[in-house]
């Protein structure tokens, strides 16, 4: 299992409860949830990957379990990982997903590969 399937089910439930249309896409060794054809939230192993507004990035890093997303040796501003202890309660998971949904309309779509 490359990602936490229970966490995936929890994310799906939150997105459905918020009446948010989404598409699941396996990528980056995990699972991403695309909203409006843009990466919104995802899972890598047992961590939540959140795409948030870069303006609140520094504040987000002070939250329990939150750390910078670093695939390439440099942190990706606007993307954070939240470890399981930071999303243990449903309210915590909903908080992070709502931050992702709030930023999604402002997020740029990645270029489509031909």
Cα separation values, 63 from 56, 76, 83, Å: 11, 17, 11
Q: What integer is the mean pLDDT of 77-95?
A: 95
pLDDT tens digits, one per residue of 72-84? 778 888 999 999 9
Q: Hey, what domains does the chain have and what are their CATH numbers?
A: 5-104 (3.90.1150.30)
pLDDT tens digits, one per residue of 33-43? 999 999 999 99
pLDDT given for residue 114 in this prediction: 55
Instruction: Tell me the whole-structure pTM to 2 decimals.
Output: 0.91
């Amino acid at each position: 299992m490359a990602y936490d399937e229970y966490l995936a089910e929890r994310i799906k439930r939150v997105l459905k409860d918020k009446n948010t249309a989404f598409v699941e896409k396996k990528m980056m060794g995990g699972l991403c949830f695309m909203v409006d054809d843009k990466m919104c939230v995802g899972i890598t192993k047992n961590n939540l990957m959140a795409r948030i507004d870069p303006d609140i990035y520094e504040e987000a890093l002070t939250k329990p379990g939150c750390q910078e997303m670093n695939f390439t040796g440099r942190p990706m501003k606007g993307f954070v990982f939240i470890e399981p202890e930071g999303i243990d309660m449903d309210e915590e998971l909903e908080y992070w997903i709502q931050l992702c949904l709030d930023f999604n309309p402002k997020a740029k779509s990645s270029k489509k590969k031909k």
